[in-house]
Amino acid sequence: MFGCAGIALSGAEIAFFRVAQPLGFILFGRNVESPGQVAALVRALRAAVGRPEAPVLIDQEGGRVARLRPPHWPELPPARRFGEAWKRDPERAVEAVRANSQVLAGMLQPLGITVDCMPVLDVPVAGAHDVIGDRAYSDDPVAVAHLGLAAAQSLLEGGVLPVVKHMPGHGRATVDSHHDLPVVAASEEELTARDFAPFKALRYMPLGMTAHVRYTALDASRPATLSPTVVGEFIRDRIGFGGFLLTDDLSMAALPGTIGDRAEGALAAGCDAVLHCNGRLDEMEAIAAVVPPLDRHAIRRWAIADALLRRAAAPPIEVERAATWRDLMLAEA
């Protein structure tokens, strides 16, 4: 899955996508100007590959990770707001999360965006880098699991696929994986009890994303995205995740090697598809030159996710009404 450089496709991008045939696309702030422009860009991306059903992703979590922002789209609270409400009243916090996902789905539907890269199921620990910070619902894995499940289910009901991230857990990282490789020395027992728990609770979700983090107790030499052990033994078997597994962005500096090496390594580790976000055409060409078509397992997993999306067929969502209910639940919790 690829990004693009700006608010409209260039001729070179159209020609490349037509030949490369990526599974789908992801949008960032650099691709966003206005609702009409975003909708037109989404249509152009799909036209470039000749597939009107091609998925289009976005990171619209709320708080500091939101590509769609005022004045055209509403401001959304960070996940931690819902975790704080959970401490006071878990039931109202869950209601608030569900309403917030309705707001998200109502924002994305009119634009043609079909996948939102949330919820964040990472469980931060004291001393961790704030790259996750308030993007996490809570420091309590039970709260993260309940709130994350409510967020994902409501998003699905609204006709948008959620992506659980960052598997098997980014909450202990002490550096930002956009710039450096985090190394986590926690034991397998600690990771299983705390970090894995929310992902295990949401193991039946259709889409997941890996963490560019090295866990020395699981694989001493490779980050999760590039580790057959972490992907196969821990994400697939111990956590039990059976959905379509995407990498986090391959252009992040946490991963070693060339961009082509990273793509090949991630697929060899057992990821179903690679995600490349910065919109650089030369890097996308290097990836396209080395990755094969989806294998039969990835095709089956994607078909299940796509069927869930088609089945939702949700009616238009009243965004303002959902936002009002969310805010009421947060205020009363």
The C-alpha angle 122, 28, 44, rounded to 5 degrees, equals 130
In 100-194 the beta strands, taken as DSSP E runs, fall at 115-116, 161-162, 164-167, 183-184
Nearest-angstrom CA–CA distance, 5 and 17:
13
Q: Are 98 and 40 in contact (CB under 8 A)?
A: no
Active-site pick, 178, 179, 237, 295: 178
Say whether 248 is catalytic.
yes
Nearest-angstrom CA–CA distance, 279 and 241:
29
Nearest-angstrom CA–CA distance, 134 and 127:
14
Q: Are 145 and 198 in contact (CB under 8 A)?
A: yes
Instruction: Name every residue whose Cβ is closer than 8 Å to that of residue 192 and which is 6 or more positions away in sequence.
Output: 238
Active-site pick, 59, 122, 248, 272: 248
Q: Residue 82's closest CA among 165, 148, 181? A: 148
Say whether 178 is catalytic.
yes
Which positions are annotated as active-site residues?
Answer: 178, 248
